[in-house]
Structure 1
Amino acid sequence: MEINNQFITPMKPWTMGDLGTQRNERPQESQGALLFKDIFDNAVNNVKITQADVENKQYLLATGQLEDAHSLPIAESKAAISLNMMITLRNKALSAYTELIKMGG
């Protein structure tokens, strides 16, 4: 009786490199993780930019160079809104993380 070997492929042993879990190697991020990272990075950068604008306008006001006095409270409001948005994003992410932990455990 002859054995047909065309459908049988030998198995090769797994190594840690095949699994993508070698030491100091980060697993590939999913598209959703990259999207969240981009959104969070944009929120952090927006906070930095709006806070820098407030500081610049405060300096200009203190040195008498600010021509429109109403721009400082507007800039402060923008900075407060961007900070609140970043805090809300952080809180939602932590809430989602704790829900995932509850599901897994």
Structure 2
Amino acid sequence: MTITEIGCCGAYCKTCRISSSGINCQGCKLGYENGERDINKARCKIKICCFKDRKFETCDDCPKFSTCKIIFNFHDKSGYKYKKYNQSIGFIKKHGYAKFIKIADKWKGPYGKID
């Protein structure tokens, strides 16, 4: 896993069914680093704010994270996965990318148990 496989929102792209099936992923940050995709065509508000405009790896890197309405509204959606994505961002903020990557490499899906 690399930092590129961590979505701006905290999702872990490497284990996503679409990404792991070999289909060209249309989410998160994959494909922009090598020119396969054009960041100027992105529609995700989180990706545009975090990755395109501010040049951050994840929303965790942003000093305005705790007051950001874009990421808050996303993490506040109904559904277990959104809470897990928020938990991932919190873990990264507290422990750093290296420790998160070590844990996330064991996951079977876009989120998992955080010790």
* TM-score bucket (shorter structure): under 0.3
Structure with the largest fraction of helix: 1
Q: TM-score, normalised by structure 1?
A: 0.27
Q: Which has the higher contact order (CA 8 A, sep 6+)?
A: 2
TM-score by length of 2: 0.25
**Larger CA Rg, structure 1 vs 2:** 1
